[in-house]
Structure formats: C-alpha cells, structure tokens
Amino acid sequence: MGIIGGMTDADVFDVAERQEHIAESRRRMPGPSYYKVLEWIHRAVEPANYLEIGIRKGMSLGAALEETKCVGVDPAPMVKREFPNTFIYALTSDAFFADEDVDEVMGGPVELAFIDGLHLFEQVVEDFRNVEAHSAAGSIALFHDTLPLDAVTAGRERVTDFYSGDVWKAVMAIRRLRPDLDMVTVPAAPTGLTLVRGLDPGDRLIAERTDEIVGEYMELPFSYFEANRADMPPEIPNTEEAVRDWLARSPAPAA
C-alpha cells in the first residue's frame, strides 16, 4: 500500500449519542451493514479496479478483492493497516481529478467507485460527475449515506458523530435529472447504500446543470426528503441474493 500525504486526528463527539443513533438506524434498517453489502458487490462484480473517495480509516477498503487495484482518495487519511494492491492519495477529490492522470492511475476506466467523501450534496454531485467522466460501459458507482436518519444528523453542519450530511439531495437530483441511469438503494445500516449503473462518460448534462442543481437544492430542509421519498431510488432487500440479482440483470430502461 502506498500512501501519498499526511494524516490528522479524528473528531471526537458524544459516544452515548452515537450509540443511540446507531441503535435507531439498525432498528430502521435491519440486516448486514453497508460494509457487508460492499463485500457482496466486490465479489459479484470482480472489478479490475476500484476507486474510493473518502477512505478515513480504510475499513471499507477491506471489502475489495486482493487482485483488484484499489485507489483511495482522502485529504486526511487515517489508515493504519496494510491493504494489498492499494494506493492512497492524500488529496481532495477535486485535486485528484484535476491533477492526476486518472486513467493511468486506475489502469483504465473506473470500473467500481464508492463515493463517501465530503458529505455535502454539491461535492457528491461533483464527485459523481468526475467518476462518470472516467467510466465505461458496465461501470458502477456507489453512494453512501443516502437514507438519512433525521434532520440533525443530515444537516450541512456536522454536530454529531453519527452523520450523513445532505447526500440525499445529490441522489434525488441525479435521479430526477438523469432517468437514463439505473439506480437502487440497499437499506443497509447505518445510512443506506445506493448503486448506480448505466454511466455515460460522454454525458454533459450534470456538468451543464451543476449551478442550477446547487441553487435548487441547497436550502431544501430534511422535511423535503421525507415528503419526496418517491423521487429517491427504489429500495431492494438488504440481502446478498437481491444485490446479486440486481447486478446480474439487464439495466432498467430509461423512463
């Protein structure tokens, strides 16, 4: 594992409050956590390469197969264990896509990407746009934190350890704008995992409409998510069989 850059200390929040949030999320989303769902996806897809944006301590990197080339991007990684065939760039995702030859770093188009960096929707939209620009037919993108728990933990300002930010806005906006994408969400604790396929590296719609998206969604409250759940991706069961079935079937036609 190669590490490029430095590290910072983790933020410290109220432990008891965190446990309460975790207990509530597991009540709402029983079954395996998103780490296990990531394992199912890696084993079903067997990607040649894997890009993870926002690695923190690197726990989710452990889901990858040993033969998969893994690239982690995080401005302040806190990885303390070794992962085979893994290269970590201590950069923001914007800097990584702007300054690095992504195709060369990845050894080709991105086959599987996990977007779990800065938990602000406008950055998630930007990360997806950049991932898609370096994708190919069959590429899959994953979004974490797409089923928020409540208004406090889904706020734009982080005041709790358990935190999803307003990532839900990015998923809702992308699904509305790009019906050609095939999107589903696995209700896996703690805050859901959304799978996206049908990526088109030549599509420019998100890039052209980014300012419009930000202006439209920036001030939307959590109550808007609750009132517009129908505009979020449909959910599939949190089981390995359901995830494998979705990955194996032909993508859904555009609406």
Reported as half-sphere exposure (CB side, CA atoms, 13 A), residue 38 has a value of: 25
Name the residue with tokens 């358990």: 162
Name residue 32's amino acid: P
Asked whether residue 234 is assigned to any structural domain, the reply reads yes
- Full-model pTM: 0.91
Summarize pLDDT for 98-146 with one digit per residue, the tens.
999 999 999 999 999 999 999 999 999 999 999 999 999 999 999 999 9
How would you classify residue 233: left for phi > 0, otherwise alpha for psi between -120 and 50, otherwise beta? Answer: beta
CATH number for the domain that contains residue 242: 3.40.50.150
Summarize pLDDT for 42-65 with one digit per residue, the tens.
999 999 999 999 999 999 999 999
Domain containing 64 equals: 2-248
Asked whether residue 72 is assigned to any structural domain, the reply reads yes
Asked whether residue 44 is assigned to any structural domain, the reply reads yes
Asked whether residue 255 is assigned to any structural domain, the reply reads no
Asked whether residue 62 is assigned to any structural domain, the reply reads yes
The number of domains in the chain is 1
Asked whether residue 226 is assigned to any structural domain, the reply reads yes
Give the SS3 label for residue 244: helix
Asked whether residue 253 is assigned to any structural domain, the reply reads no
Predicted confidence pLDDT, tens digits, the chain (255 residues)? 333 333 333 446 788 898 898 999 999 999 999 999 999 999 999 999 999 999 999 999 999 999 999 999 999 999 988 999 999 999 999 999 999 999 999 999 999 999 999 999 999 999 999 999 999 999 999 999 999 999 999 999 988 888 899 999 999 999 999 999 999 999 999 999 999 999 999 999 999 999 999 999 999 999 999 999 999 999 999 999 999 999 998 776 554
For residue 52, give the nearest of 14, 89, 94 by alpha carbon.
Answer: 89
Within a 10 A sphere around the Cβ of 211, how many other Cβ atoms? 9
Name residue 144's amino acid: H
